[in-house]
Amino acid sequence: MTIEYRCSECSNLIADAFSSKCPSCGKNFMQEKPIEPEKKTIHLNPDNPAWGFGSSLIIWLLSVILIIFAQVPALVAWMLWLKASGQTMPPFLDIEKHPEIAVFGVASTFLSHIVTVAICYRFITKTSKGKFLPALGWHWPEKFGLLKTIGLTFLTFFCFAIIASLLPNKENQMQKLIESSMAARFSIGFVAIVGAPFVEEIIYRGILFSGLCRDFGHKAAIFGVSFLFLLVHIPQYWGAWGGILGLAFLSTVLTLVRAYSGSLLPCFVMHLIFNSVQVSLIIAQGIGILPKES
């Protein structure tokens, strides 16, 4: 019994099973590397997430509660520090006499930021099939790149400074914290750069915006997120009416960028640069390079 080997292309006989080429049609039998299809990055739609407004509102409330109750361990740590250093507990809290209170408070705030991120990570990965940042639109959109983001940030900062000067700015809680000591300036600066931009963007223009947008549309999401972002900042800036007005402007700009670009990354970069410039000015005032605010 003879075994015949034929070409799969022209069906003519070939010498054996190990032939590399058909003598009739020239077909090459050597295994060629398959052509891989072009990989195209597909981004999740952050305006239609797996969660709605109700879930996002709960996450927002948890983040606010964590910030408020973060001051409890701060006070405990401060009292333990007083005891360890041999100092007596004062009858009332006075940040001017005890500027270290500000440092303990800021440190606890940063810890609350870490817990908030952990909650957000668990919530998003559980609802979005393991996708954390992609579910929030964490990418550079074609119509809103890095250079445009940087340019808009400095334009926003310039407008913020003008708007903040339109109304009187009285001494407020944040200003007292900043001016309590150089350590407070550095610790507040650290949280403002390392923690606040990422955590606040994840909460507000990430989870909250996406949930509002899915259930009520872009207009409701823009208004709701801008308002809530301003609302949580009002207590610490109470009395600085120009600064609060400037914050309203900043919040609106960041939220409009999120709505226009469909991405959270430009908002984060803008927030990061904005806070970095502010912290630089605060440090410069502390070391005497710039005059302190009156």
pLDDT tens digit sequence for 41-76: 455 789 999 999 999 999 999 999 998 888 777 777
Is the pLDDT at 85 greater than 90, yes or no? no
DSSP reduced 3-state for 5: strand
Q: What is the mean pLDDT of the chain?
A: 86
Token digits of residue 270:
């803008």
Phi/psi class of residue 239: alpha, beta or left (left: φ > 0; alpha: ψ in -120 to 50)? left
Domain assignment present for 5: no
- Kindly report the pTM of this predicted structure: 0.81
Check: CB of residue 282 under 8 Å from CB of residue 188.
yes
- Of 89 and 174, more confident: 174
Domain assignment present for 261: yes
Domain assignment present for 13: no
Token digits of residue 103:
């440092």
**pLDDT for the residue numbered 32:** 47
Which structural domain, as residue segments, surrounds residue 178? 53-191+201-286
Q: At 28, phi and psi to the nearest 5?
A: -90, 120
For residue 237, what are the contacts with CB-CB under 8 A and spacing of at least 6?
172, 173, 174, 243, 244, 247
**pLDDT for the residue numbered 42:** 53
DSSP, res 91: S
Rounded to whole angstroms, the Cα distance separating 262 from 153 reads 17
Domain assignment present for 47: no
Check: CB of residue 163 under 8 Å from CB of residue 249.
yes
**pLDDT for the residue numbered 179:** 86
- Of 204 and 93, more confident: 204
- In the chain, the number of structural domains is 1
- Angle (CA) 259-135-154 rounded to 5° is 40
**pLDDT for the residue numbered 291:** 78
Convert the pLDDT of each residue in 1-29 to its tens digit. Answer: 566 667 767 766 667 666 667 777 767 75
CB-facing half-sphere around the CA of 98: CA atoms within 13 A: 16
Rounded to whole angstroms, the Cα distance separating 294 from 291 reads 9
Domain assignment present for 82: yes
Domain assignment present for 144: yes
Is the pLDDT at 33 greater than 60, yes or no? no
Residue 198: closest CA among 127, 262, 276? 276
Domain assignment present for 94: yes
The residue type found at 6 is R
Domain assignment present for 234: yes
Convert the pLDDT of each residue in 237-289 to its tens digit. Answer: 999 999 999 999 999 999 999 999 999 999 999 999 999 999 999 999 988 88
Residue 254: closest CA among 266, 241, 243? 266
